[in-house]
Chains A and B, each alone.
Chain A
Amino acid sequence: MKRSDQLSLKLLALAAATGIALGGLEANGWWQDSRSLPTDSAARVNHTEIRQLDYQRALGLMASGKRSPLTAEDRILVLERLIQEELLVQYGIAQDLLRADRKVRSAVLQSVLAGLDVQARAAVKQDSDNGLQDYLIELRNSADIQIGGQP
């Protein structure tokens, strides 16, 4: 094998090893960990950020129910509760509760339909049902649908 071929092979192996190493680090979240939390975020939970705005809102809610000013422990407790809520939301998504839980399913469908209704009204469509039907037709046309498991 020529020297240039050997050098090319070595460079290729080095690049592959570097790529694998970086991929492994990214998979383990080291890259994420090394990034500092932006100031407009109160926390990060598995790549999802909890906004400072939401944290301050939650603090405000707690303060309105208290006679005395919020303590440092109160602030930590509120942040912990927001983190716990995020963990539960992520757990629910992983368990596919969006489909499996009737209340979540119903709430999500209502939210989507309400959003479509708002869009239809914003577009000054007289009959907002047409907006929904058009949207559903679009979704059906772009989906792979098999009835009874058969195409």
Chain B
Amino acid sequence: MNASNGTARTNIAIRGLIACAGLLLALLGATLSQQLSTSNGDSSVVALVNQQPISIKDADSLALELWALPYNKLSADQRSTAVQLLIDQELLLARAKALSLTTTDPGLRKVMAAAAINQITNNFLQQPVTDTQLREFYQTYGSIFDQPKKIAVNALRLTSKSSIQQAQIMLAEGKNLNHISQSLQLDPVLPPNLLSIPALHRYLGASLVSHIEKLDQDQISLPLQKADGLYYVQVTAIQKARTPSYQTIRQSIKAEYQRRGRDIALSNRLNQLWQQADITTHQPVHNSPVMSSPLINSSVATEGAQ
């Protein structure tokens, strides 16, 4: 009887000791693990402030800013100064976080939201874009890269009887409008280079442009009377509407792909955050419609899952 009692007491004591050991391990385990890792000489950390590491990368950034040198090239005094500065910064940042400054200060909220947007869009931009993806995008959205029809025009605006008579004489002699304009020392009515139809409208107005569109290259129009003078117009070059080849505008295609992809990545992330959040309002609200493109979603899906 006494032996069994003794054994039972021993068992209870052993169980108690094991339980205490487990409890101690659970309470101190995280600290022990961190101390082990730091005592192994974690060279990526220059300091720990309330267990928040200050990395070599942070030290390098500060050293470059202050002395235009990387951290490992600094003197001992400079390193000490840099580390102290970083420690002070971390203390202040931790204090700001404890005071919830970034959630309450309107200016800091804007900066934080902008930084979040930058991170989301930069995560997308860092993803490599393959040639296949760009070609598929170009084939689907090729119309946005179309170059419109352009026309190069010479125009004469004649306001005096004498200039009209002289112009008509030179036209009869077969002179072109450029020659006549120089002879009569007239100011150019519009730039001589290729211009789109909307640009021509801005310079000459709709009625003149409608005549221009009927002319062939080098053809000179009949005299066209407008309120501000008598016009002659001559088409000097025509460039038809065209879609440039993939190779010639590959950079533009990539830029447009990335521009749309950034917007989609941000939209997807916001939708994800909205769906995961607990949102209460007095009136029904919903997140903006998801921007999507079947060609870009495969890329941003990876970003959205991060």
B180 CB contacts on chain A under 8 angstroms = none
Q: Which residues of B contact A112 (CB under 8 A)?
A: 92-93, 95-96, 101
B31 to chain A, nearest CB (A): 10
Q: What are the interface flags for A100-117 relative to B under an 8 Å C-beta threshold, 1 for contact and 0 otherwise? A: 011111011101110000
Flag whether B296 is at the interface (Cβ < 8 A). Answer: no
Contacts of A92 in B (CB 8 A): 102, 112-113, 115-116, 119
- Tell me the complex Cα distance, A33–B95, Å: 31
Q: Is B109 an interface residue (CB 8 A)?
A: yes
The binding surface of chain A is classed by DSSP as helix
Name the distance in Å between A129's Cβ and chain B's nearest Cβ. Answer: 13
CA–CA, A146 and B42, complex, Å? 12
Assembly CA distance A98 to B119 (angstroms): 12
Docked pose: A88 CA to B287 CA in angstroms: 13
Q: CB within 8 A of A144: which of B42, B51, B107?
A: B51
- The answer to whether A103 touches B115, judged by C-beta atoms less than 8 angstroms apart, is yes
From B11-19, B219-227, B244-252, B270-278, the one touching the partner chain is: B270-278
Residues of B within 8 A of A113 (CB): 92
Interface string of A65-104 (1 = CB under 8 A from B): 0000000000010011001110111111101011101111
Interface string of B97-139 (1 = CB under 8 A from A): 1000111011111111111111100000000000000000000
Do the beta carbons of B101 and A91 come within 8 Å of each other?
A: no
| Contact A44–B38 (Cβ < 8 Å) | no
Interface range for A: 35 or more
Interface string of B168-195 (1 = CB under 8 A from A): 0000000000000000000000000000
Given the complex of chains A and B, what is the CA–CA distance between A113 and B85 in angstroms?
14
Give, as a whole number of angstroms, the nearest-CB distance from B25 to chain A: 21
The tally of CB-CB contacts under 8 A between chains A and B is: 173
Establish whether residues A98 and B93, one from each chain, have CB atoms under 8 Å apart when the complex forms. yes
The residue of chain A having its C-beta at the shortest distance from the C-beta of B288 within the complex is A80
Instruction: Knowing A79-B283, A107-B107, say if A149 contacts B278 (CB, 8 Å).
Output: no
A112–B93 alpha-carbon span in the complex (Å): 8
Q: Which of B47, B274, B281, B287 contacts A145 (CB 8 A)?
A: B47
Q: Identify the interface centre among B47, B91, B116, B282: most chain A CB within 10 Å of its CB.
A: B116
Please name all residues of chain B whose beta carbon is closer than 8 Å to the beta carbon of A98 when the two chains form the complex: 93, 96-97, 102, 112
Cα-based distance from A79 to B281 in the complex (angstroms): 9
Q: Does A4 contact B (CB under 8 A)?
A: no
Cβ contact within 8 Å between B102 and A85: no
Chain A residues with CB under 8 Å of B50's CB are 143-145
Distance between A36 CB and nearest chain B CB, rounded to angstroms:
8
Chain A residues positioned under 8 Å from B52 (CB to CB): 99
Q: Does B164 contact A (CB under 8 A)?
A: no
Is the Cβ of A76 less than 8 Å from the Cβ of B285? yes
Contact yes or no, A145 B115, CB < 8 A: no
Whether the Cβ atoms of A33 and B92 lie closer than 8 Å is: no
Is the beta-carbon distance between A148 and B46 smaller than 8 angstroms?
yes
A33 proximity list for chain B (CB < 8 A) = 278, 280
**C-alpha spacing A7/B91, complex, angstroms:** 53
5 A/B residue pairs, CB under 8 Å, sorted by A: A32-B278, A79-B281, A85-B109, A102-B61, A109-B96
Question: Known contacts A101-B119, A108-B108, A149-B53; can you find 13 more A-B pairs with CB under 8 A?
Answer: A43-B279, A43-B280, A46-B278, A83-B285, A84-B288, A93-B103, A98-B112, A104-B115, A107-B107, A145-B87, A146-B38, A149-B38, A149-B42
